[in-house]
Structure 1
Amino acid sequence: MLLRHITIDCADPYALATFWSTVTGWPVSDEDAPGDDEVLVEAPAPVPGLLFIRVPEAKSVKNRVHLDWKPTERTRDEEVARILDLGATVHEDHRRPDGRGWVTLLDPEGNEFCVERGAA
Structure 2
Amino acid sequence: MILRHITVDSSQPYELARFWSEVTGWALSDEDLPDDDEVLLAAPEPVPSLLFIRVPEAKSVKNRLHIDWMPDERTRDEEVERLVGIGAKLYEDHRAEGGLGWVTMQDPEGNEFCVERSTKERDL
Aligned match of 2:102: 102
Runs of 5+ in structure 1 lacking a partner?
Answer: none
User: Deviating runs (4+, > 3 A) in structure 1?
Assistant: none
Aligned match of 1:82: 82
1:51 aligns with 2:21: no
TM-score normalised by structure 1 residue count: 0.98
Aligned match of 2:42: 42
The size of the alignment, in residue pairs, is 120
TM-score normalised by structure 2 residue count: 0.95
Task: Report the alpha carbon displacement of residue 53 of structure 1 after superposing the two structures with TM.
Answer: 0.2
Between the aligned partners of 2:49 and 2:33, the Cα distance in structure 1 is 17
Q: Residues 35-78 of structure 1, C-alpha deviation per residue, up to 9 Å, x if partnerless?
A: 10000111001111000000000000000000000000000000
Q: Residues 51-110 of structure 1, C-alpha deviation per residue, up to 9 Å, x if partnerless?
A: 000000000000000000000000000000000000000100000011000000000000
Runs of 5+ in structure 2 lacking a partner?
Answer: none
Between the aligned partners of 1:74 and 1:88, the Cα distance in structure 2 is 17
Over the aligned positions, Cα root-mean-square deviation in angstroms equals: 0.6
Aligned match of 1:5: 5
Between the aligned partners of 2:31 and 2:50, the Cα distance in structure 1 is 14
Between the aligned partners of 1:40 and 1:119, the Cα distance in structure 2 is 28
Between the aligned partners of 1:36 and 1:17, the Cα distance in structure 2 is 11
Between the aligned partners of 1:30 and 1:49, the Cα distance in structure 2 is 16
Q: Residues 1-57 of structure 1, C-alpha deviation per residue, up to 9 Å, x if partnerless?
A: 111100000100000000000000001122211010000111001111000000000
